[in-house]
Structure 1
Amino acid sequence: MRVPRPRKVVLLIALVVTLVLLCCGGSVTVLLLGGTGDDNPSTLNASLGCGKGGPVDPDSKLPRIRSYGGAQIRNAAVIINVGADMQMPPRAWVIAVATAMQESRLVNLGHLGDRNDHDSQGLFQQRPSSGWGTPEQVRDPVYASTKFYEKLKTIDGWQTMPLTRAAQAVQISAYPDAYAKHEPMATQIVNSLADGAANAVGDSLAMVCAASGQIAASGWTIPLRAGVGSGFRTSERPNHHGVDLSIGKYTPIGAVASGVVSMVKCDEDFNGRKSCNVDGYPGKGGCGWMVEILHPGNVMTRYCHLVQRPFVRENQQVAAGEIIGRVGSSGNSSGPHLHFEVHLNNDRSSAGAVDPVQFMRNQGASLGGEG
């Protein structure tokens, strides 16, 4: 077979693209160019749906989500639909799906004989002997989901609790912290099956995208409302592994999601000094007063240049939006601002850092003051 010359191949591709564009219009242009060119976080969040399309029909063709099979995803769809029918907001859907992931891996388990945990059965491993219902009832995904939500509704403040605490308040498990690790995947499942509902305001039935300062159903929020100044690894600052949110001194800083405080310290400057109770200056070095929080999914967030010793201590569990300190200008700083970083796999080094703007946008909690 004769191989076409490169120039002919290019001309052929150009002709095909032109014909497709003439036929199909702007939507194909977006597909070919990889986006609309609109980097406004509010617009991009809106394009995810934020639950406006409603939950997917469990009996329809469902998407494949990582290692979960069709029956498991159908069970997740049932859990979400029951929550919607009961007028439970989308944060409840994420909690319920994560709980079932821990209890049964979204498999509707019957009695497992010698391997069974007491008389626990079904998606949520509910025990008939504890009053959850008959064995047949707790193995019915609709019934089991209904009972889970009914119990969740009785828990004061469940909407703002860390997911693992809310789940534990319902389940009373021997492993109270085990639910947290499922939160990121439960969020993805809810987004896939309910038109981006995990990006909606978590405690509202309105299904609107979370605005600045609100907690999304994913469990994420912004640390404070301020415009993004210096960006992530720009050409001017290629070693800037976070973003700077410029705002007045003493502005409260909130944790962006539930988690455990993994570090609180006064960071040394380039001369080895720990002088964080005074304003810093460019070239001094160090983060000044700083906090690191480890979130579900091994995501670590870092907060730098606080004005005084942070309000939290190491190993303390915090909730999304909980105030951890106040904005300052300690360390390597030219003025009051929050330097904010996101690291994956709990990798504290620069290798683990990702763009906070893109990451937070994907959690339904856009930085930059929009909303």
Structure 2
Amino acid sequence: MVAIAQMNSMLMKIKPYLAMVFLQFGFAGMFIIVMIAMQKGMSHWVLVVYRHLLATLAIAPFAFVLERKIRPKLTVSVFLKVMLLGLLEPVIDQNLYYVGMKFTSATFASATNNVIPALTFVMAILFRMERVNLKQKPGLAKVIGTSLTVSGAMLMTLYKGPVVDIFGYSPGSGHQNSSATSSAQHWAAGTLMLLLCCVGWSAFFIVQSITLKEYPAELSLTSLVCFMGMVEGGIVALVMERDMTAWAIAFDFRLLAAAYSGVVCSGIAYYVQGYVNKVKGPVFVTAFTPLSMIITAILGAILLSEQVHLGSLLGACVIVIGLYSVVWGKSKDDQILTSEEPSKLNTELPVVQENSITKSAHDSLNGPFMLPKINVVKISDSGEP
């Protein structure tokens, strides 16, 4: 029984880590599938709408049944936050990401996403959701780790180096980089869109963390965000996509892209991120973002015969070191907070202190009706006065 209890306790501790790692595999698969669907002519405006439609249909029944007894009341404040969440990630983040990827390249777009941990870290500090003490090792580790993840991402982007033939493909195989056909003007616009995309994605985690404190029902909140993302994304798609034939969909890669990205990367991802966000905070959630780029590079080399460059391998190593540093610092912070909780419990005997009421009573009453003076007694830890 003791061994089972210890195993359950260990599983509870590592569950957030496993959830975020597996989620990055899901995101990596989405990048491959969506890339193929867009190459076949699927509109990203329409993809966003179908993605969140299918996510809503997949998650809403579970939310309705499993959280019917714990679901809080949907107040105006929560509804406004849900609208903001649906706008930040489903509409702004995803559409800007796809447009930025078209104007630059898939490699550059995936590498740019790795600034999300740094942006979320700064936002969390500004909103006092994360504490940083550079005089302590955990705080210093989080700052250094965040800097390393960004540096590794930039290394993968700015330095290619020679092709490393680790999967048995010839240097001439693979897809050509789409950046070769992009003009300098489009590249600058795409870079700006990708940076705005990262800001929206980071802001989503901050608002999600705030909303969960007021509406602690992860499945229900996920369903509402997906529904609002579908509605708001549909309005944007009707304005931006004038060709009605773009809405036609068949049993092909376009349907697979909408179903996979909707169920796995919107429905399940929002729920898992919400759970981990509530337990570990937004910085912990975004710290695992660089893993998806590494997994995508590996899957791209295996499935799409893409070339693997030395810069990608070096950047991946730096990202892993930075990720470990952030996670280590966050885990040590949790241990410090846990150890501080018992110390906050006051073990001293209750002491009546002189307040303003008794003081005024002393000042106003004289003679035999004067209140007795109340002494303030401090009881030490040993129990002696």
Whether these two folds match at TM > 0.5 is: no
Instruction: Name the structure where helix makes up a greater proportion of residues.
Output: 2
Larger radius of gyration: 2
What interval of TM-score do these two structures reach, taking the shorter chain for normalisation? under 0.3
- TM-score under structure 1 normalisation? 0.25
- TM-score under structure 2 normalisation? 0.24
